[in-house]
Structure 1
Amino acid sequence: MIDLRSDTVTRPTPAMREAMSRAAVGDDVWGDDPSVSAFEQQVAERAGMAAAVFFPSGTQSNLAALLTHCQRGEEVIAGQFSHIYRDEGGGGAVLGGIQPQPIAHAADGSLPLDQVQAAIKGDDIHHARTKLLALENTFRGKVLPEGYVASATALAHDHDLATHLDGARLFNASVATGVPLASLCDGFDSVSVCFSKGLGAPAGSLLLAREAAFATRARRWRKTLGGGMRQVGLLAEGCRHALEHHVERLAEDHAHARQLAEGLAGIDGVEVQACDTNMVFLALPEAHCRALGEFLAARGVLIAAQPRTRLVTHLDVFTADVHHVVMEMRAYFARRYA
């Protein structure tokens, strides 16, 4: 099957499986897993950060960041459609008593700075005190403008706010722009990066910290959240393999997304929005969503067909697959509107 539902569906390559099978392991809760420790240090240095903590998922990494930055009754400013606000089960509020303050996104995925500033609440007993600004890069396949990030983080720090970046697909942003990982992390006190999406590892995210003391506190929260793992060097070695072999090839995914968007453009009843990286968004007639999904599935293509549908390319999608998807989707709408 050609699975375009997400880049989380990637499968470990044979070379990655081989690397994982040779991983040196220990008990990471005791700090004894050499593969985890080496991987944390390697990525922290590459990102220009002081330390890193290995997590099983990006959701838990983001949650630990929230819990480390904020106390109960404090507030985080985040995007209205950001993953940390909309798609992580409300963990900060449920488990940490942290109030989210959502801000509407601009067209480029940024949060307008005037709205961010207007939302900041100080030390007034009537309000939840704003403590953190959380941004997301990429956001729905779009790379945040570099100048914007510098201005947003400076604004936050001027108001004594900490800054966190949900960088689940930050390597996509780096490859798309040619900007090094360390530069994309500039201005942030913590950054979450994921290795189980486009990079193809089976699991694993890192929480990067500007200060080592923050990483120490986040590691305690990881244990509290049930994220302390034992011989997890097997996963860390898969992530390390992805870091060393799968980053540059993200450009192929971006090219496939552009080809997909170009191939689907002009279909009657379908609006196509291309992005900067590995995503294509479609506006589909609601009446056709179920039938289209079933039609494509019968022809070896999986999509999550909705009025707003996201197609995601990844290392298990090839040029021939893109051509097949375009052909079958055009065939569906040609029949329906014939």
Structure 2
Amino acid sequence: MKVIDLRSDTVTKPSLEMRRAMAAAEVGDDVYGEDPTVNRLEALTAEMSGTEAALFVPSGTQGNLLALLAHCQRGDEYIAGQQAHNYRYEAGGAAVVGGIQPQPLEFSADGSLDLTLVEQFIKPADSHFARTRLLSLENTQAGKALSPQYLSAAREFADRHQLGLHLDGARAFNAAVFHKQSIADVVRPFDTASLCLSKGLGAPVGSVLCGKKELLADARRWRKMLGGGMRQAGVLAAAGIYALEKNIEGLQRDHEHAELLAEKLKQVPGLAVRREENQTNMVFLDMPIETAEKLKAHLAGKQIHIGTGQTVRLVTHLDLSMDDIERAAREMIEFFAKGKK
């Protein structure tokens, strides 16, 4: 029986065609700037995102950290969401490595940061305070695609307050597909953007940090310091190139699968199913932890993997077919129909 994994889109595996591209990749020493496949990936990503430069990094976590280090000095501050990945889920890297203070704020219901609220937390020019240098946004946030209008407003806000603007674009391609935009449209308002290749796009490893040349030069130095110089990394970059050239359009299918899953689960009486209008490839289920644990165990016996907690996140991705979604929904509906909650 095929395993259906709904825990995250990070679980995707490289296809046979992607593996062939990796095996055929021409390589060199990337720390010397001599890996032709890495250079091609960086040039391709910079062109697609409309940015001055790009830097291949092992992970989105490192891409975000490099951007924070390039934007901020010790004693500076960045503003981010309370549930933002680069505040909550990246081991405090900005504070530990860079001495950069985070100022977390609650996200709005649509995944944005209320700019009126952000303004209240920009520190005055006073020796008592950290210096607010950067506003960091996330797109998508919990699967919610930020509107183009909001991103333009954020750019104007950052300029008015002399702040840098960074995008954690772990799922920025999902946002682009959702709004029927190019990735350049999504990235344009930002000084830096970390774009992940290993989630919905299906590459096994890697992100690309894009942005202004001056900031990217600093980021490249920080990458070396943090152990991100990967030498003959072309075998990984080839997967990224394949992902960018072949897998972007498939994200629309993932969004449709999430919508189908949500609609089917809404048939369960009393089950709180959350899916917002701007949600892409995620569905959220609210339930007692005890119920979530039982559901997880039930599904594991059917070779279906989900997370747990009071909010269960279900994530669709390119390794899942329509039949997989139908089967997963059917098993969940059966669980609740039998009163196992």
TM-score range, shorter chain: over 0.9
Q: How many residues align?
A: 337
User: What SS class does the counterpart of residue 263 from structure 2 fall into?
Assistant: helix
2:234 matches 1:261: no
Cα deviation code 1:3-51 (max 9, x no counterpart): 0000000000000000111101000001000000111011101111000
Which of 45, 51, 54 matches 1:52? 54
Which of 290, 297, 300 matches 1:287? 290
List runs of 5+ in structure 1 lacking aligned partners.
none
CA distance in 1, matches of 2:340, 2:297: 17
TM-score when scaled to structure 1? 0.98
List runs of 5+ in structure 2 lacking aligned partners.
none
Would you say the 8 A contact 1:269–1:285 is kept in 2? no
The AA in structure 2 aligned to 1:110 is S
CA distance in 1, matches of 2:198, 2:177: 17
CA distance in 1, matches of 2:337, 2:164: 52
Cα deviation code 1:217-262 (max 9, x no counterpart): 1000001111111100000000000101100011111110000000
Cross-structure match for 1:42: 44
Per-residue deviation, 1:267 = 1.3
Per-residue deviation, 1:132 = 0.3
Cross-structure match for 2:311: 308
CA distance in 2, matches of 1:15, 1:43: 20
CA distance in 1, matches of 2:138, 2:65: 14
Equivalent positions of 1:15-164 (< 5 A) are: 15-164=17-166
The AA in structure 2 aligned to 1:75 is E
Cα deviation code 1:262-314 (max 9, x no counterpart): 01003134211124211111102222121111100001100012210100011
Per-residue deviation, 1:122 = 3.1
Cα deviation code 1:127-154 (max 9, x no counterpart): 0010000000111111111111111121
Cα deviation code 1:59-109 (max 9, x no counterpart): 000001001100001000001111111111110011111000011111001
The AA in structure 2 aligned to 1:299 is K
Would you say the 8 A contact 1:78–1:133 is kept in 2? yes
Cross-structure match for 1:216: 217
Per-residue deviation, 1:123 = 2.1
User: What SS class does the counterpart of residue 338 from structure 2 fall into?
Assistant: helix
CA distance in 2, matches of 1:249, 1:337: 35
TM-score when scaled to structure 2? 0.97
User: What SS class does the counterpart of residue 308 from structure 2 fall into?
Assistant: coil
Per-residue deviation, 1:212 = 1.1
User: What SS class does the counterpart of residue 125 from structure 1 fall into?
Assistant: coil
The AA in structure 2 aligned to 1:207 is L
Cross-structure match for 1:11: 13
The AA in structure 1 aligned to 2:202 is G
* Identity percentage of aligned residues: 51
Per-residue deviation, 1:337 = 6.1
CA distance in 1, matches of 2:193, 2:184: 11
CA distance in 1, matches of 2:43, 2:317: 27
User: What SS class does the counterpart of residue 331 from structure 2 fall into?
Assistant: helix
The AA in structure 1 aligned to 2:316 is T
User: What SS class does the counterpart of residue 336 from structure 1 fall into?
Assistant: coil
Equivalent positions of 1:174-213 (< 5 A) are: 174-209=176-211, 211-213=212-214
CA distance in 2, matches of 1:214, 1:112: 26
Equivalent positions of 1:223-234 (< 5 A) are: 223-234=224-235
The answer to which of 273-282 and 49-58 deviates more is 273-282
Cross-structure match for 1:167: 169
Would you say the 8 A contact 2:204–2:239 is kept in 1? yes
The AA in structure 1 aligned to 2:111 is G
RMSD, matched Cα: 1.1
Would you say the 8 A contact 2:54–2:209 is kept in 1? yes
Given the superposition, is the C-alpha separation of residues 273 and 107 from structure 1 closer, same or farther in structure 2, using an over 3 Å criterion? Answer: same
Cross-structure match for 1:271: 272
Cross-structure match for 1:297: 300
CA distance in 2, matches of 1:225, 1:112: 33
